[in-house]
Amino acid sequence: MHRLTFHFLLLGLFLVLLGGCTKTYSDQDVHWLSVKNAEAAIQEQEGSWFSQPRPNAWIDARDEVFYKVGHIPGALNIQLSDPDAFTRLTGYGTLVVYGEGYEAPIADAMIKALLKGGMESVKGLQGGYEAWIEAGQKVVKGPDPSRRPGAIAGDRWQRQPVDDD
């Protein structure tokens, strides 16, 4: 009986150690940048003597409908439900993710998913799209030209009727 207990304890310890090897991401891993600092991060070029500089990118985590109504120039529209998200982001350096407002839950979730997916430098735009507008920054309208048509079935819970200009 004593030997069986020892084996169960050893197995339990092994499972605890095995489970502890998985990296999880929390709010402490999410870094939010002001509009000014986010713009500076996008402008910086990453690279070294041995590699080509990688472009940085804005990631609009909002639903496609909101993206079409207005977004940061050059932003890629990527949702958590996008099966091509990581493929579309291959080759980029720093990613600055934004949602609609202050530390939007959708942006927070996207940042954590990208970090978990192996992206090295992912930040958030503090205040999101609303802060961008309040800062008087330029916005553009229209669909994401880098997205394959019909790539996402849609996050219907986010959809709101809007007028297409």
Q: What superfamily would CATH give domain 26-148?
A: Rhodanese-like domain (3.40.250.10)
More reliable by pLDDT, 112 or 148 = 112
**Pick from 150, 144, 155: nearest CA to 74:** 144
Spatial distance between the Cα atoms of 51 and 89, rounded to a whole number of angstroms: 18
Between 17-21, 24-28, 127-131, the lowest mean confidence (pLDDT) is in 17-21
CA 119 from chain centre, in angstroms, equals 9
Q: What is the pLDDT of residue 149?
A: 62
For the chain, the average pLDDT equals 80
- What is the reported pTM? 0.74
More reliable by pLDDT, 52 or 164 = 52
Q: How many CB atoms lie within 10 A of CB 73?
A: 9
Q: What is the pLDDT of residue 104?
A: 87
What percentage of the chain carries pLDDT values higher than 90?
48
Between 61-70, 93-102, 141-150, the lowest mean confidence (pLDDT) is in 141-150
Task: Kindly tell me if the per-residue pLDDT of 30 is higher than 60.
Answer: yes
Q: What is the pLDDT of residue 5?
A: 59
- Buried b or exposed e, range 30-67, using 16+ CB within 10 angstroms: bebbebeebbebbeeeeeeeeeeeeebbbbbbbbbebb
Do the beta carbons of residue 125 and residue 33 sit within 8 Å? yes
What percentage of the chain carries pLDDT values higher than 70?
69
Q: How many CB atoms lie within 10 A of CB 23?
A: 8
Task: Kindly tell me if the per-residue pLDDT of 154 is higher than 50.
Answer: no
CA 51 from chain centre, in angstroms, equals 24
Do the beta carbons of residue 124 and residue 33 sit within 8 Å? yes
Do the beta carbons of residue 26 and residue 109 sit within 8 Å? no
Q: What is the pLDDT of residue 72?
A: 97
Spatial distance between the Cα atoms of 148 and 41, rounded to a whole number of angstroms: 27
Q: What is the pLDDT of residue 155?
A: 45
**Pick from 66, 52, 35, 21: nearest CA to 138:** 35
pLDDT in tens, 70-117: 999 999 999 888 877 888 898 899 999 999 988 789 999 999 999 988
Task: Kindly tell me if the per-residue pLDDT of 61 is higher than 80.
Answer: yes
